[in-house]
Amino acid sequence: MTLLLFDIDGTLVQVNGTSRTAIAHALSSLTDRPISTDRVSFSGRTDPAIFESVLSRNGLSATDAVLTEIIEGYVEAMRDALTPADVEVLPGVRPLLSRLDEDPAVQLGLVTGNVEPIAYEKLSAHGLADYFPVGAFGSDHADRNQLPDIAIRRAADHTGHAFHAADRAVIIGDTVHDIECARAAGARAVAVCTGRYDRDELSRHDPDLLLDTLPAPETFLRRVIG
Q: What pLDDT does 26 receive?
A: 86
| Sites in the chain below the pLDDT cut of 50 | none
Q: What CA–CA distance (Å, rounded) separates 155 from 18?
A: 30
In sequence order, what are the residues at sequence separation of 6 or more whose Cβ sits closer than 8 angstroms to the Cβ of residue 65? Answer: none
Q: Are residues 208 and 146 in the same domain?
A: yes
Residues 187-208 pLDDT 10s: 999 999 999 999 999 999 999 9
Could you say which of 84, 105, 131 is where a domain stops? 84
CATH number, domain of 58, equals 1.10.150
Q: Are residues 75 and 96 in the same domain?
A: no
- Whether 74 contacts 4, CB under 8 Å: no
Residue range(s) defining the domain that contains residue 36: 18-84
pTM, rounded to two decimals: 0.94
CATH number, domain of 95, equals 3.40.50.1000
Q: What pLDDT does 148 receive?
A: 97
Could you say which of 84, 115, 139 is where a domain stops? 84
Q: Are residues 110 and 39 in the same domain?
A: no
Q: Of 223, 220, 212, whose CA–CA distance to 101 is shortest?
A: 220
Q: What CA–CA distance (Å, rounded) separates 64 from 110?
A: 24
Q: What pLDDT does 90 receive?
A: 97
Domain count, the chain: 2
Strand order in the sheet with 188-192: 135-136, 106-111, 2-6, 169-173, 188-192, 209-211
Q: What pLDDT does 93 receive?
A: 98
- Whether 145 contacts 41, CB under 8 Å: no
- Whether 62 contacts 52, CB under 8 Å: yes
